[in-house]
Amino acid sequence: MHDIEPWWGWREEYSAERDSKSPFYGRSYSEFQFTSRIYNYYIHPQWDFFGSETLYAKLLFVDYRQKFALIELIGEWNDCIENDISFLKRDLADALIEHNVSRFVFFCDNVLNFHGDEDCYYEEWYDDIRDENGWVCLVNTYDHVHKEMQKYRLQHYIHFGEVFNEMQWRALKPAFIIELIEGIIHGSQKQLL
């Protein structure tokens, strides 16, 4: 896992550590010191700790004018034991919602498992952004991850599943990703590129 880096392709356009509105503002990173771990596995030092011991994030892009954030995740999403959704909601999403971000895309290519629990944080998040026509979308979840999420009825609060999988998002511009997902959510787009 230590060689899986967060996506770097939009760093010329956005960097969370240089964004004063970002919860990761002012952070500095090493390319050579591996200190963060998920269980016994070191992860690349570019990933950001936001409170969870099993799930790390990278805020890849935020457009405050267009009210969206693109975030990549790595690890195990564990609501059952670690209550990861509370950290994700309180320490990451709420900081962005405070600056009017209402559309969240999470790239889950590196989320290996999901362990569900209650859905109250998801419901709260949904309530926080729905008046702004906001939404939360998970892209490229593994089948077993989205099946577990369905088991906990998270589809009532967030978008995920087959229609959002197989997206080659790294080849796209951030605004086009949002347009594509909006089209799927609102039914005007049936297929991904």
Mean pLDDT of the chain: 92
Q: What is the pLDDT of residues 155-184, one digit of tens each?
A: 999 999 999 998 999 999 999 999 999 999
Mean pLDDT over 134-158 rounds to 96
Q: What percent of the chain has pLDDT over 70?
A: 95
Predicted pLDDT of residue 188: 53
Domain covering 16-183 assigned CATH 3.90.1200.10 in the classification: no
Total-model pTM: 0.93
Sign of the C-alpha dihedral, residues 141, 177, 88, 8?
positive
Helical residues (DSSP H) of 46-173, grouped into ranges: 84-87, 94-97, 120-130, 143-151
Predicted pLDDT of residue 39: 84
pLDDT surpassing 60 at residue 151: yes
pLDDT surpassing 60 at residue 190: no
Predicted pLDDT of residue 1: 60
Predicted pLDDT of residue 174: 98
Comparing 100-114, 136-150, 152-166, 175-189, which segment has the lowest mean pLDDT?
175-189
* Domain edges within the chain: 16-183
Predicted pLDDT of residue 41: 81
Strand order in the sheet with 55-63: 55-63, 68-78, 103-115, 135-139
